[in-house]
Amino acid sequence: MIEDLIKAKRIMKKKLPEARRIEKHRHPQLPDNWRKPKGHHSKIRRGMKWELRMPKVGRKTPVILQNLDRFGRELIMIKTIDDLKKLSKKAVGIVVSKLGLKSKLILAKESIGKDYKFLNFNPERVLLKVENNKKAKLAKPKLAVKESAEEKQVEKPAKPTAKPAKPKKESKGEE
């Protein structure tokens, strides 16, 4: 039954027009994500026949197929080691992008011997990356001992304490 729904979903996705952002053709720097038109005179908001179509409720993926990939496997978000236990042969893991290298290293060590499948994560590649980082740190030459603060200071010319006196003008009548 799910296979039939997946086929129906593929056909439905092909038929539906893509919801593009308004004025995207004029401003290529705009991202491709949809924003609802809110303008008073917007033809798209008013649903004019010749304009772009807005996304509607009828476009939603059926509830049975939500959180499944195109092969019918369940998608599971992985943030910690406990989430690895949820993976099975009918489930595929997606490692959260906000994880740092340390957390990814822990996940890689846990999953390397087991038969887990990931969509965006390769445990062997993570381990290689960590090893290369360690080798690069060891290969860097250590800097010489920093010079003392006294040697670094450059002698600045002494500032005058008082302003130099201006020469007095001689008056013409004194001669």
- Residue 76: the pLDDT is 92
pTM of the entire predicted model: 0.55
Long-range CB contact pairs, 3-6, < 8 A, 24+: 3/72, 5/62, 5/64, 5/65, 6/65, 6/68, 6/70, 6/71, 6/72
- Residue 142: the pLDDT is 66
- Residue 118: the pLDDT is 92
- Residue 39: the pLDDT is 92
- Residue 46: the pLDDT is 92
Contact, 37 vs 44, CB < 8 A?
Answer: yes
Structure tokens at 171: 């008056």
pLDDT digits (tens, 9 = 90+) for 63-96: 888 888 888 888 999 999 899 988 888 899 999 9
Residues of the chain predicted below pLDDT 70: 142-155, 172-175
From start to end of 52-146, where are the E strands?
Answer: 74-78, 91-95
